[in-house]
């Protein structure tokens, strides 16, 4: 009998290792509320071996904020004094995402928690409202009040992707060094479809690196959101995203540009909840990386030699990598990604 009991325990241990545990219902966990300290709600660190900005993005910003799920290049007081449109939001955010599959290679849904009602404020952004008599409401969350139905607090590093590290890091993604005003139709539509595609690509290729940020056209007026007494937030004319993978053939990248300044562009976006994932033509947003550099003033893949950079750039607006449906977990028209 003791040998039989020991065998049963061994079988149970093996089963626990091999069979993935289903993620609990989302409402079983909830992100904690902001404390008095202007800090992330949970202890955060980049997982060992992960390199969020592996290939190099410049400039690094007046402040480079490294958290578990991303690295953010955030402007400082100088951008505010200069009246730059690239203020009160990150110039760019970069992050690595890894595959999340079970022993048979099937996608696993990461555990998540109910998002906070208010996003978290950080000390690195406190200069935007500290010692400013015109700002009566501290923080950046108040700037979205009255506008959030149209202009979402748009993640650059997706919460669902951060959940792949830990649900606590998904909560940590709700910070304004990882957000900017993003039109609701884009945020809940084509942008979300691309996030789903990126997650499926990570499941297929093992790792995906993402760089994302705002674009302002120098010849266009810049609108802001925010009631009087709040920090005015410039609304980007467009958002960009770059995805990179490593295969046996080498490093490859695809780049995308999503306009959000004209009604015609916004009307073309389709909400994820009512649109099949495979009906999105994400390739229509393709753009060459050297063109993105000209639009943003940023430089990408700076840790590579120039010939290698140019080779990657030349194919950056090519067709998307084919990803079979079996690699998808979240998809539009099916299970929606946790926002």
Can you tell me the distance from the alpha carbon of 85 to that of 181, in angstroms, rounded to the nearest whole number? Answer: 12
Asked if 237 contacts 186 with a C-beta cutoff of 8 angstroms, the reply is no
311 three-state secondary structure? helix
Q: What is the Cβ-side half-sphere exposure of residue 210, based on CA atoms within 13 angstroms? A: 28
Asked if 205 contacts 254 with a C-beta cutoff of 8 angstroms, the reply is no
155 catalytic? Reply is yes
3-state helix, strand, coil in the chain (%, to 5): 30, 20, 50
Can you tell me the distance from the alpha carbon of 339 to that of 333, in angstroms, rounded to the nearest whole number? Answer: 15
Asked if 163 contacts 172 with a C-beta cutoff of 8 angstroms, the reply is no
Can you tell me the distance from the alpha carbon of 226 to that of 237, in angstroms, rounded to the nearest whole number? Answer: 17
Contacting residues for 63 by C-beta, under 8 A, at least 6 apart: 73, 74, 75, 76, 124
109 three-state secondary structure? coil
Dig out the tokens for 223 from the structure.
Answer: 């609108």
- Strands (DSSP E) contained in the chain are 57-58, 63-67, 70-74, 92-98, 151-155, 179-183, 207-215, 224-225, 233-234, 238-247, 250-259, 299-300
Among 52, 155, 183, 237, the active-site one is 155
187 annotated binding-site participant: yes
Catalytic site positions: 155
Annotated binding site: which residue ranges? 187
């Amino acid at each position: 009998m003791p040998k039989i009991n020991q065998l049963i325990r061994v079988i149970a241990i093996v089963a626990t290792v091999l069979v993935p545990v289903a993620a609990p219902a989302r409402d079983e966990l909830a992100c904690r509320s902001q404390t008095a300290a202007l800090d992330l709600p949970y202890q955060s660190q980049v997982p060992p071996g992960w390199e969020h900005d592996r290939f190099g993005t410049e400039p690094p910003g007046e402040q480079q904020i490294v958290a578990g799920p991303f690295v953010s290049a955030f402007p400082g007081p100088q951008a505010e004094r200069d009246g730059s449109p690239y203020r009160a939001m990150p110039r760019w955010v970069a992050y690595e995402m890894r595959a999340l599959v079970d022993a048979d290679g099937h996608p696993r849904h990461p555990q998540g928690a109910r998002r906070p009602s208010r996003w978290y404020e950080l000390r690195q952004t406190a200069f935007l409202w500290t010692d400013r008599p015109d700002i009566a409401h501290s923080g950046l969350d108040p700037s979205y009040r009255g506008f959030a139905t149209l202009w979402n607090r748009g993640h650059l590093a997706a919460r669902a992707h951060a959940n792949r590290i830990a649900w606590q890091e998904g909560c940590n993604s709700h910070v304004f060094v990882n957000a900017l005003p993003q039109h609701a139709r884009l945020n809940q539509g084509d942008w979300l479809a691309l996030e789903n595609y990126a997650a499926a690509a990570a499941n297929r290729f093992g790792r995906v690196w993402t760089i994302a940020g705002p674009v302002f056209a120098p010849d266009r007026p810049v609108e802001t959101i925010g009631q009087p007494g709040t920090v005015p937030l410039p609304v980007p004319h467009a958002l960009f995203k770059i995805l990179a993978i490593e295969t046996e053939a080498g490093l490859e990248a695809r780049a995308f540009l999503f306009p959000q300044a004209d009604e015609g562009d916004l009307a073309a976006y389709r909400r994820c909840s009512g649109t099949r994932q495979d009906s999105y033509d994400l390739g229509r947003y393709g753009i060459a990386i050297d063109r993105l550099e000209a639009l943003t003033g940023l430089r990408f893949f700076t840790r590579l030699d120039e010939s290698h950079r140019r080779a990657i750039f030349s194919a950056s607006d090519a067709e998307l990598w084919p990803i079979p449906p079996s690699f998808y977990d979240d998809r539009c028209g099916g299970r929606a990604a946790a926002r």
